Chains A and B, each alone.
Chain A
Amino acid sequence: MTTEPIVSVRDLRKNYGSVTALDGVSFDIERGETFALLGPNGAGKSTTIEILEGYRDRSGGEALVLGTDPSRGGLAWKARLGIVLQSSGESGAVTVREQLSHFASFYPNPRSVDETIAAVGLEAKAKTLIRNLSGGQRRRVDVALGVIGRPELLFLDEPTTGFDPEARHQFWDLVRSLKSDGTTILLTTHYLDEAAQLSDRAGVIAGGTLIDIGAIDEIGGAEARTPVVRWFEGAAREERTTEPGAFVASLQARLGTEVPGLEVIRPSLEDVYLGLVSHEVSASLDLVSTSSTTGSAS
């Protein structure tokens, strides 16, 4: 069975005046997939996601979201999306339950309000005015509002900023359950462990271009994922090797004792990402310095 991708982006471009925020980005997101868009501030992540949400017009290239050009998406198209924006500062003079029931009424086939409140862990706050919630709790309301319409495609723009570790883990469980329901998710985040936990694939964007894209456990290439063995031998030593077991065995044989300070480290997504981005930054300093002057273009 062949299916159209849920999101299809070809050579996407965006200029703000003379500043280029996006310079030819292409990727697809398949049905049911969780795709993470990673990159430093001002790299073009939010510009990309806001073009796909229909909030911004592109300057060039092609974009299709659920088969529709997002700059022309109508109400029926919006009913199939869930959007969790980066920040919200609404006056919040309604309770959590009032807000969710109200938004649920916009959609043809919404989720149950009580189940959604439970899924974001706000049962105890259901009758509290939103303005009286903490920042992290308000963020959970944002997430609940994003999923209340049972979206086919969910945009999560830095969803867990301001969460404590426990809330973040609860949120991850929520995202996994949405994913197992078949929801396609486009996620941006600054937390690389979050991307590693949740996503199937990731794209790394820097200076307005996509510098790498691939499965979450392959991105950056095999080279960047070569394990590192660290130990102490007069001074701190380290060796990158694709065969850490054999290396440690030979090390132990050579030293004839337990290896002091032994560590075998597989580079995390964060290490791989930092390697990718720092490489890109040094390769295209000019581009980064132009795009960093446009705070609003981030």
Chain B
Amino acid sequence: MSNTLALGSKRIGYEVRQYFRQGDTVFFTFLFPLVMLTIFSTAFSETSFGLDEDGNDVTAAAFYLPAMLAAGVLLSGLQNMAVDIAVEKSDGTLKRLGGSPLPVFSYFMGKIGQVFVTGLAQAAAILLLAATVFQVPLPDEPGQWLTFAWVFTLGVVTSAILGIALSAIPRSGKSATAVIIPITLVLQFISGVYLSFTQLPEWLQNIASVFPLKWMAQGMRAVFLPENFEVLERGESWDLPGVALVTLLWLVVGLIASRLTFRWIRKDS
């Protein structure tokens, strides 16, 4: 087991190094939320998204910051994993690993570690951009950051595991982005990332509430939006227990699906 863990941590370094050497993943996964935050903050720079407790305007950048953090978790986790593993399946990477004595557990440790490291770097970059360029005030209470820590960690791990499960769907590496990106894009639109969640029709909110992104975005809003914004949420509450519950549920679903579907190679195809 210690060997499995040692190999797993080697895999993390190997995976992270590869990640940053691939221009397309760096752009579409890593930089994408940063680009979107910049676009929204610039496009709506004259618009007020409401007032905080002290009567200050909430800027577009402040309003979109939690949404982009949630989108980053989805992209770094689900989209990145699903595409990455589907490509590795079809380009022979998995076949080669499957013929080597690398434990499957170490492989997944490397993948989830890669998502965690790149997701964390991405979140840091988003926060830095928001705080410096767009002057978004960041929370100063440790409790808020604690909430951020668990929402982020739970979100990124769940997202990565769901990505592993979804990697079974694309039939080839070439079709992987075409299959996966529409899923993540639709989720982002209905889960309150680009559009304000409570302004969506009731039935669409109900649909989105089944999926974890809505809850991750809500958890991020609880951290970064002023307290008086809580009344704008469904049920006038951040509902953090709900965030934890639904995300954990999806984590379990993802673990079971990954366990059932993952193979080094499709035997006899």
CB pair B91–A89 under 8 Å, yes or no, is yes
A106–B101 CB distance below 8 A: yes
Q: Across the interface, name the chain B residue whose C-beta is closest to A53.
A: B99
Interfacial chain A residues near B17, Cβ < 8 Å:
93-94, 98
Q: Could you give, for residues 81-119 of chain B, a 1 whenever the CB lies within 8 Å of some chain A CB and a 0 otherwise? A: 000000110011101101111110000000000000000
**B234 interfacial by beta-carbon distance below 8 Å:** no
> Residues of B within 8 Å of A, CB-based: how many?
24
B269 surroundings in chain A (CB, below 8 A): 296
Complex interface: chain A residues within 8 A of B132 (CB): none
CB distance from A58 to the nearest CB of B (A): 10
CB-based contact B103/A91 at 8 Å: no
Q: Which residues of A contact B14 (CB under 8 A)?
A: 94, 98, 102
Nearest-Cβ distance from residue B92 to partner chain A, whole angstroms: 5
Q: Are B100 and A90 in contact (CB under 8 A)?
A: no
Of A53, A81, A90, A103, the contact of B91 (CB 8 Å cutoff): A90
Q: Are A85 and B92 in touch, CB under 8 angstroms?
A: yes
Chain A residues within 8 Å of B91, by CB:
88-91
Residues in A whose Cβ lies below 8 Å from that of B18: 91, 93-94
Report the Cα distance A85→B14, complex, angstroms.
22
Shortest beta-carbon distance from A141 to chain B in Å: 11
A57, A87, A106, A296: the one within 8 Å of B100 (CB): A106
CA distance A102 to B17 in the complex (A): 12
Q: For the complex, give the distance between the alpha carbons of A287 and B168 in Å.
A: 35
Please provide the chain A residues from 210 to 259 with a CB less than 8 Å away from any CB of chain B in the complex.
none
Interchain CB contact under 8 A, B99 and A16: no
| A107 close to chain B: CB less than 8 A | yes
A-B contact count (CB 8 A): 69
If the complex has contacts A55-B99, A57-B268, are A129 and B21 also in contact, measured as CB distance less than 8 A? yes
- A279 within 8 Å of B by Cβ? no
> Contact flags (1/0) for B210-242 with A, using CB distance below 8 Å?
000000000000000000000000000000000
Min CB distance B265 to A, Å, is 6
- B265 and A55 form a contact (CB under 8 A): yes
Q: Mark B229-267, 1 if CB is under 8 A from A, else 0.
A: 000000000000000000000000000000000000101
Complex Cα distance, B265 from A296, in Å, reads: 14
Count of chain A residues with a beta carbon within 8 Å of a chain B beta carbon:
30
Residues of A within 8 A of B7 (CB): 105-106
A106 to B21, CA, bound (A): 23
Nearest Cβ in chain B — how far from A185, in angstroms? 16
- Which of chain B's residues have a CB closer than 8 A to the CB of A56? 267-268
Taking a contact as CB atoms under 8 Å apart, the answer to whether A85 and B99 are in contact is: yes
Residue of A nearest to B269 (CB): A296
Q: Is B171 an interface residue (CB 8 A)?
A: no
Interface string of A45-59 (1 = CB under 8 A from B): 000000001111100
Closest to B20 in A: A93
Cα(A6)–Cα(B14), bound, Å: 34
A107 and B101 contacting across the interface, CB-CB below 8 Å: yes
Pairwise interchain contact B10-A83, C-beta atoms closer than 8 A: no
Residues of B within 8 A of A88 (CB): 91-92, 96
Q: Does A75 sit at the interface, judged by CB under 8 A?
A: yes
Question: Which residue of B21, B96, B101 is within 8 Å of A90 (Cβ)?
Answer: B96
B2 interfacial contact with A, CB 8 Å: no
Interface residues of A in 185-225 (CB under 8 A from B): none
Residue B199 CB within 8 A of the other chain = no
Counting CB contacts under 8 A, is B56 at the interface?
A: no
Among B1-58, those with CB < 8 Å from A are 7, 10, 14, 17-18, 21-22
| Cβ B101 vs Cβ A76 within 8 A | yes
Residue numbers in B under 8 Å from A93 (CB-CB) = 17-18, 21-22
A75 touches B103 (CB 8 A): yes
**A179 CB–B CB distance under 8 Å:** no
Chain A minimum-CB-distance residue to B18: A93
Q: Mark A97-140, 1 if CB is under 8 A from B, else 0.
A: 01000110111000000000000000000000100000000000
Other A-B pairs, 15, CB within 8 Å; known A85-B99, A89-B91, A296-B269: A16-B268, A57-B268, A75-B101, A76-B101, A78-B100, A83-B99, A90-B92, A90-B96, A91-B91, A93-B17, A94-B21, A98-B14, A102-B10, A102-B14, A105-B10
Could you list 11 A-B pairs, sorted by A, with CB under 8 Å? A56-B267, A57-B268, A75-B102, A78-B100, A81-B99, A89-B92, A91-B18, A93-B21, A106-B7, A107-B101, A296-B269
